[in-house]
Amino acid sequence: MAPNPLGCADAADCIELWQGAIEGLIEGVLVVEPRALRIVAANRVAAELHGREVRQLIGQRVIDLADVPEDLIFWEEVAAGRAQDLHSETMVRRPDGTLVNVQRRISQVRCRHHITYYFVGFCDQSDRQAAETELEKLVAELRATLESTADGILVADLEGGIRGFNQRFAELWALPESLLTERNDASVHAWMADQVLDADAYAGRLAAILGDPLREATDIIGLSIGRVLERVTLPQFARGNPIGRVYSFRDITQRLADEKRLKLASRVFDASLDAIMITGPDFRVQAANPACERLTGFAAAELSGHPLERLQPLIGELALNLELDRAFERDGFWQGETEQRTKDGRAIPCLVSLVRVAGSDGEPANYVGFTKDLSETVAARQRIEQLAYTDALTGLPNRAQLSERIEFAISLARRERSHFAVLFIDLDRFKQINDSLGHVFGDQVLIEVARRITCTLRRVDTTARLGGDEFVLLLHQSDGAGAETIARRLLEAMSRPFEIKDMKFSLGCSIGVAIYPEDGETLDDLIKNADSAMYHVKERGRGDFRFYRRQMNFDLLTRVKTEHALREALDHQRIHLAYQPQLDLRSGQLIGAEALLRWTDPTMGAVSPAQFIPIAEETGFIIPLGAWVLREVLRQGEAWNARGMRLTLSINVSAVQFHHAGFVDSLVALLGASTLPPGQIELELTESILIQHVDDTLVRLKALADLGVKLAIDDFGTGYSSLGYLKRFPLHKLKIDQSFVRDIPDDDSDAAIATAVINLAHSLNLRVIAEGVENERQRQFLLDAGCDEYQGYLCSPAVAPEAFVSLCERLL
């Protein structure tokens, strides 16, 4: 036996060699046998990724480890012999339910003797995804910070890397245009270092700040362009941990000049925007400027003689522990944040700079206090926190805050072995309101919806807005009965009329419910499954709630697979048309045929049109599918005409296809390129087509009638029947649905309905055809009732074109 490419005598030797070879790889590797889809070799990294031992993986079916539709479909394609390679990001679920993001590559490897295996390589992407998520949060915080102040702002990380700065910062430092249009941190820092007067002191101070993540500092920086800046340095926090720094720069050139001339220039003192108090060496107030009067509410005369600690208690505390003395000895000033007491008892957060002024003898003669109101800064910090964790429109928690609360609820439920519920709410027909009345009106609707939802819940529950008209509710320690109670309350609350800007309207919602841990043990699973349950409510008429069932995700997967297979079927000619004869009831003559779609899939077998037509309509694939049917029927009609078989060919037209903008034009083009007379084409339309967009429908029908195409109503009486459209529209024929034909003449009600339809059609000069005729008694009843045509198994089921020719020769 010749050795295979790996130097092995047979498959077993290959597997043993692969097991040894892949064990040393840093990637997780599985080797899969393609027929049974079982794992024949695995290394330790792959086992750790899957939360299992290597021996537990060997022999396991790889499809049992697949957790996303893409993987399931791929391995099914492998089993069918159609798949080759796959490279994408996916999810690996461990036995404890946790999901691991991985980059996965599947490659087909052929050995000698035509032995084929699939190599599956995994790289853990969890760290990268976590880093990207953290970066998004930091960017949001930075953006809010930059927009919250009129000062020059520079935001940096703990290593000094620049996250962003505002326009005022660029103006203060006179940054050139080139540094504003490209990202170059080193160049910005170098530019700033070149602009300062004392480069060594600037560099030393900056190094000290960077060396202490929690340091709060204020510096005065002189620039070579003659500008003096006050730099306030504050650590930036996220969830209690320092993540960077915010440098605030204010131009204090004029203020410092005013301070130097304080005793001689009282007008400068009075004009200062900062509150200034001058004290004696005993810290008792001697003078206060108007800004101080405005800030504190005290007149200058009321402040005179009082100790400074009466207004700023922290100053007195600092004096006791000698921190002030140490700061004055070291820097000549002290600066810090404290509270400014006002006359009405309020406490205002302030930044206080206390400067010691020495007398001629070198001893302290005065202290000058500069007080800056930090109310806006504190509010900005709170606003940053609010923007990071709340929805800007409704004020509700956003996805980030919801994630934290659900994670907490999961931890609590695991510890106490309890339940909680997640509800996914989507408003019904909100898009119509938003599109017709505008986004401003839509925002007001969302605010009112948020209010109603919040009023329905307990204080311990959480309402979050994910975006658009989607809301998620977290019901703490709630089981299925509790979730149902809340869901019904929500439906009742949303059913009450809305009134916004003098406009009254109704607005419903659809609700999906998932219960922990039955319907998911992770945040993503709970929200995904609640969303899936909500989607099923939408499919079944809206305005209700539904609990999640595992079958829902299977149904969605089946729909995805069916859609994909349907598209492939059209490309690979697995879809064909069958034709069912239509006969004249009186003469028995063959007068036409109805074209019916048939699909046989290699995997699913024969697929019913009732299964794939709705999916084609929902995805829009009905447009190319319907166009193919029209072309195929015209081609078949031409071929039969050439053989002397001149028949009317009936084609079913979907509502989606009929209302498509190019339907009439495409039909005109097809008829123009065909030798088949338009009069041999009969389009069968459902009643739902006729009641939607009536004016536009009438224009389209008249255009089709002008072409010479015949128009029939399919399944008459099963939809929203209206005598109005029978009179207005250029119709040719009514078709009695087989549900009314099946039990005649024994069922009196069906017999009465069939007779009524026939009489109604004849009174409007329309022909009538009955479908589903299976026996002679049904045919005779319809003949006696005056029906014109019939089709059904009594004559023949729908057959392939070749069989139809033989049938035609027998009937003609």
Element of type H or E holding 601: strand 590-601
Name the pLDDT band for 745 (thresholds 50, 70, 90): very high
Residue 286 corresponds to which tokens in the numbers above? 């001697």
Q: What are phi and psi of 248, to 5 degrees?
A: -110, 125
- Dihedral-angle region of residue 792 (phi above 0 means left; psi in -120 to 50 means alpha; beta otherwise): left
Whether the per-residue pLDDT at 358 is higher than 50: the answer is yes
pTM: 0.43
Question: Would 301 be classed as within a structural domain?
Answer: yes
| Contact assessment for residue 601 and residue 607, using Cβ atoms and an 8 Å cutoff | yes
Question: Would 695 be classed as within a structural domain?
Answer: yes
Element of type H or E holding 121: strand 116-124
Interval 705-716: pLDDT, tens: 999 999 998 877
Question: Would 665 be classed as within a structural domain?
Answer: yes
Element of type H or E holding 684: strand 681-685
Whether the per-residue pLDDT at 14 is higher than 90: the answer is no
Name the pLDDT band for 181 (thresholds 50, 70, 90): confident
Question: Would 555 be classed as within a structural domain?
Answer: no
CA–CA separation, 221 vs 228, rounded Å? 6
Question: Would 5 be classed as within a structural domain?
Answer: no
The pLDDT value recorded for residue 319 is: 52
CA–CA separation, 480 vs 477, rounded Å? 10
Asked which of 83, 109, 124 is the last residue of a domain, the reply is 124
CA–CA separation, 354 vs 351, rounded Å? 10
Interval 150-163: pLDDT, tens: 789 888 998 889 88
CATH value at residue 218: 3.30.450.20
Q: What are phi and psi of 572, to 5 degrees?
A: -100, 15
Average pLDDT score over residue span 35-50: 88
Q: Given CA atoms 592, 596, 600, 601 in this order, what sign does their dihedral have?
A: positive
Asked which of 251, 277, 312 is the last residue of a domain, the reply is 251
Least-confidence region, from 166-175, 233-242, 327-336, 571-580: 327-336
Interval 125-147: pLDDT, tens: 888 877 777 877 876 676 666 66
The answer on 659 and 593 residing in a single domain is yes
Name the pLDDT band for 464 (thresholds 50, 70, 90): very high
The answer on 176 and 76 residing in a single domain is no
Name the pLDDT band for 808 (thresholds 50, 70, 90): confident
| Contact assessment for residue 85 and residue 68, using Cβ atoms and an 8 Å cutoff | no
| Contact assessment for residue 75 and residue 62, using Cβ atoms and an 8 Å cutoff | yes
Whether the per-residue pLDDT at 310 is higher than 80: the answer is no
Cα 667 to Cα 530, 570, 578, 653, distances in angstroms: 43, 20, 21, 12
Q: Which residues pair with 545 in a beta bridge?
A: 511
Q: What are phi and psi of 147, to 5 degrees?
A: -90, 0
CA–CA separation, 666 vs 140, rounded Å? 50
Residue 474 vs residue 436, higher pLDDT: 474
Name the pLDDT band for 717 (thresholds 50, 70, 90): low
The pLDDT value recorded for residue 719 is: 55
The answer on 344 and 219 residing in a single domain is no
Q: Which amino acid is at 624?
A: P
Please name the residues in contact with 473: beta carbons below 8 A apart, sequence gap of 6 or more: 421, 422, 423, 425, 453, 457, 461, 462, 463, 464, 486
The answer on 262 and 357 residing in a single domain is yes
Least-confidence region, from 169-178, 219-228, 254-263: 254-263
Average pLDDT score over residue span 571-586: 92
Q: Tokens 């003797």, residue?
A: 113
CA–CA separation, 606 vs 628, rounded Å? 20
Q: Taking Cα atoms as reference points, which of 59, 126, 57 lies closest to residue 95? A: 57
Interval 651-674: pLDDT, tens: 999 888 888 888 899 999 999 999
Domain of residue 110 covers 11-124
Name the pLDDT band for 2 (thresholds 50, 70, 90): very low
Asked which of 200, 227, 251 is the last residue of a domain, the reply is 251
CA dihedral defined by 465, 466, 467, 471, rounded to 10 degrees? Answer: -50
CA–CA separation, 21 vs 42, rounded Å? 10
Average pLDDT score over residue span 320-324: 61
The pLDDT value recorded for residue 3 is: 35
Residue 584 corresponds to which tokens in the numbers above? 């004249």
Interval 489-500: pLDDT, tens: 999 999 899 998
Question: Would 389 be classed as within a structural domain?
Answer: no
Name the pLDDT band for 574 (thresholds 50, 70, 90): confident
The pLDDT value recorded for residue 148 is: 66
Q: Tokens 């599109």, residue?
A: 435
Whether the per-residue pLDDT at 593 is higher than 90: the answer is yes
Interval 773-784: pLDDT, tens: 999 999 999 999
CATH value at residue 496: 3.30.70.270
| Contact assessment for residue 141 and residue 164, using Cβ atoms and an 8 Å cutoff | no
The answer on 371 and 299 residing in a single domain is yes
| Contact assessment for residue 283 and residue 367, using Cβ atoms and an 8 Å cutoff | yes
Instruction: Tell me how many domains the chain contains.
Output: 5
Least-confidence region, from 405-409, 462-466, 548-552: 548-552
The answer on 319 and 179 residing in a single domain is no
CA–CA separation, 776 vs 794, rounded Å? 7
| Contact assessment for residue 75 and residue 63, using Cβ atoms and an 8 Å cutoff | yes
Whether the per-residue pLDDT at 599 is higher than 50: the answer is yes
The answer on 750 and 613 residing in a single domain is yes
Strand positions, DSSP E, 434-489? 462-467, 470-475
Name the pLDDT band for 317 (thresholds 50, 70, 90): low
The answer on 56 and 134 residing in a single domain is no
Question: Would 386 be classed as within a structural domain?
Answer: no
The answer on 694 and 731 residing in a single domain is yes
The answer on 176 and 114 residing in a single domain is no
Question: Would 388 be classed as within a structural domain?
Answer: no
* Percent of the residues in the chain that have a pLDDT greater than 70, as a whole number: 90
Three-state secondary structure along 720-765?
CCCHHHHHHCCCCEEEECHHHHCCCCCCHHHHHHHHHHHHHHHHCC
Element of type H or E holding 49: helix 44-49
Q: Which amino acid is at 562?
A: T
The answer on 528 and 511 residing in a single domain is yes
CA–CA separation, 729 vs 727, rounded Å? 6
CA–CA separation, 607 vs 461, rounded Å? 46
CA–CA separation, 622 vs 639, rounded Å? 25
The answer on 167 and 18 residing in a single domain is no
The pLDDT value recorded for residue 7 is: 43
- If you count DSSP H runs as helices and E runs as strands, how many of each does the chain have, helices first? 33, 31
| Contact assessment for residue 701 and residue 729, using Cβ atoms and an 8 Å cutoff | yes
| Contact assessment for residue 44 and residue 54, using Cβ atoms and an 8 Å cutoff | yes
Interval 75-134: pLDDT, tens: 887 777 776 788 888 888 888 888 888 888 888 887 765 678 888 888 888 888 777 778
The pLDDT value recorded for residue 446 is: 93
Distance, C-alpha 317 to centroid of its chain: 54
Q: Tokens 């939360």, residue?
A: 51
Residue 187 vs residue 267, higher pLDDT: 187
Residue 618 vs residue 310, higher pLDDT: 618
CA–CA separation, 526 vs 532, rounded Å? 10
Name the pLDDT band for 1 (thresholds 50, 70, 90): very low
What is the residue-averaged pLDDT of the chain? Answer: 85
CA–CA separation, 141 vs 144, rounded Å? 5
CA atoms within a 13 Å half-sphere pointing along the CA-CB vector of 784:
9
CA–CA separation, 166 vs 188, rounded Å? 13
